[in-house]
Structure 1
Amino acid sequence: MEFWFEELHTDNVKMSIRVDKQLFSGESEYQRIDVFHSPEFGRFLASNGSVIFSEADEFVYDEMIVHVPMSVHPGVKKVLVIGGGDGGVARELSHYPEIEEIDVVEEDQLFIDVCKEWFPDNACGLEDPRVKIYNENGLRFLRSRQDQYDLIINDCTDPLGHTAGMFTKEFYGNCFRALHEDGIMVYQHGSPFFDVDEEACRAMHRKAFRSFPINRVYQAHIPTCPAGYWLFGFASKKYHPLKNFDAKRWNDRNIKTWYYTTNMHCGSFMLPRYVEDLLLEEEDKI
């Protein structure tokens, strides 16, 4: 008997992944977490029935949300990761010896524990001695921080679920205050392809555009995401993701990657016309 994991992307589109076995199922006060093994994607984690990441494609997301800002900002010392309980973002940050502190704010301890058990290649990032984990709500954590971070990475998973507060106007304003005068914030921006997801993308860009003087959106191909297409937001007080991008400085680090390159960095900001139009429409409303 075949076992398939199915996730509805819209009322008319469904993603199915053939599964060998279910490795874990549990529920915290925040979410239901399931871990499966599949022939195509290896192990993958689902939250409330939606795939969050898989062994086969997590590197795309983690590399693009870390290396893009790190190749632009010339002096990152202190980083805040909102979410990030799987450790993948911290793992990529660990390649940068100049970083002194990495604060990971993950409210759900069960999520951390599950990732440590079933995704050790990600969770190893949490073992970096520079990492400090806070089991707190990210929005409340930010309210008491001001002028503390060079880089904030919003790695929360769901703009509609228990992490919805991390996609509000207040959140972006708090990020602005928590950053140094030359700080950068990056965040997952969702997928704009299906109509059901478009408004969330519009709202995120509108709020970030109001809060930061420099705003750009970039893209990546992630097979387990809706339509296989994912956006990221780059919001900055000072640095432009292309004008202040230093390809030579980053290449000289010799960091081994599977997706990110300095050529990819530039190309990822070249968006399809329908995405450009969507973003410009929201900017014109300000």
Structure 2
Amino acid sequence: MELWYTEKQTETFGITAKIRETLVTEKTDFQDLAIIDTMEFGRMLVLDGMVMTTVKDEFVYHEMVAHPALFTHPNPERVLVVGGGDGGVIREIMKHPKVKKAVLVDIDGKVIEYSKQFLPEIAGELENPRVEVIVNDGYMHIHDHKNEYDVIMVDSTEPVGPAVELFSRGFYQGIYEALREDGIFVAQTDNPWFKADLIQSVNRDVKEIFPIVRVYCANIPTYPSGLWTFTMGSKTHDPLAVDPNAIPDIPTRYYTPELHRAAFALPRFVADLVK
């Protein structure tokens, strides 16, 4: 008998993958969690029926959350990751020697626990001495830490369940206040094929708070539609002003100095959403 996992990405569309083995399923205090081993994408973390990451294509998302902002800020010593309990963004942050301290705040400790056990190639830097892991509400952490971070990265699920507040204007205002005077934040902002309204609303809210706002894209096969957007808000530094020749070579599989600028060149239909 064949077993298949299907993520229903809209009411009329989904993706499916053949399962080799189910490694864990648990209803945590916050969400339904599963880690499955698929034939095509390897081990896959699923939260509330949505694919969060897979060992085959995770590098795209995690590199593109971390590196554009860290190479835009000239001295990112203190970095916060809200969400991201799988540890992939932390792994990429640790490639930057300027970062003295990275703080991970995820509301669901089970995500962290099972990622360490079943996704070690993603979660492997969570024990790094430069990393502090906090199991708590990221929304509240932001509001309790004013003027503390150089860069804040929001690695959230889609805006359902505990992640709803992470797409609110109040949250973005809290981020602004938690950043230092030249701080930068970046958040994943879903896909333009199915969530155009979300991208527009986020962009509108962030533009009301940050003087510099840029949207960029990456291709992530297991995320809805495959085309994913990220929104960067900056108090001072513009990612488009970064000289690619000044970006040092670090071990990546997707991000490159040339791609740093190219990712901000949006398809016209996406650019139209954020005019």
Question: Under TM normalisation by the shorter chain, which class is it?
Answer: over 0.9
Instruction: Give 1:135 deviation, angstroms.
Output: 1.2
- C-alpha contact (below 8 Å) 1:71/1:249 kept by paired residues: no
SS at match of 1:129: coil
SS at match of 1:95: coil
SS at match of 1:162: helix
- C-alpha contact (below 8 Å) 1:70/1:76 kept by paired residues: yes
The residue type equivalent to 2:108 in the other structure is D
TM-score for both structures, normalised by structure 2:
0.98
Residue number among 230, 244, 249 corresponding to 1:247 in the alignment:
244
SS at match of 1:230: strand
* Structure 1: distance between partners of 2:32 and 2:168: 23
- C-alpha contact (below 8 Å) 1:147/1:178 kept by paired residues: yes
CA RMSD of aligned residues (A): 1.0
* Structure 1: distance between partners of 2:120 and 2:64: 20
* Structure 1: distance between partners of 2:20 and 2:34: 14
The residue type equivalent to 2:261 in the other structure is C
Q: 1:93 is matched with which residue?
A: 93
5+ residue gaps, structure 2: none
Q: 1:236 is matched with which residue?
A: 234
Which of 52-61 and 160-169 deviates more?
160-169
Q: 2:84 is matched with which residue?
A: 84
- C-alpha contact (below 8 Å) 2:158/2:190 kept by paired residues: no
Count of aligned pairs between the two proteins: 275
* Structure 2: distance between partners of 1:181 and 1:57: 35
The residue type equivalent to 2:218 in the other structure is A
- C-alpha contact (below 8 Å) 1:213/1:236 kept by paired residues: yes
* Structure 2: distance between partners of 1:217 and 1:14: 26
- C-alpha contact (below 8 Å) 1:81/1:155 kept by paired residues: yes
* Structure 1: distance between partners of 2:261 and 2:243: 11
- C-alpha contact (below 8 Å) 1:82/1:156 kept by paired residues: yes
Q: 1:283 is matched with which residue?
A: none
TM-score for both structures, normalised by structure 1:
0.94
The residue type equivalent to 1:260 in the other structure is Y
Task: String of CA shifts for 1:85-115, please: whole Å, max 9, x gaps.
Answer: 1111111111111211111111101111110
Task: String of CA shifts for 1:53-95, please: whole Å, max 9, x gaps.
Answer: 1000110000011111111111011001101211111111111
- C-alpha contact (below 8 Å) 1:60/1:258 kept by paired residues: yes
User: What fraction of aligned residue pairs are identical, expressed as a percent?
Assistant: 37
Residue number among 265, 273, 279 corresponding to 2:274 in the alignment:
279
The residue type equivalent to 1:98 in the other structure is K
* Structure 2: distance between partners of 1:120 and 1:149: 27
5+ residue gaps, structure 1: 281-286
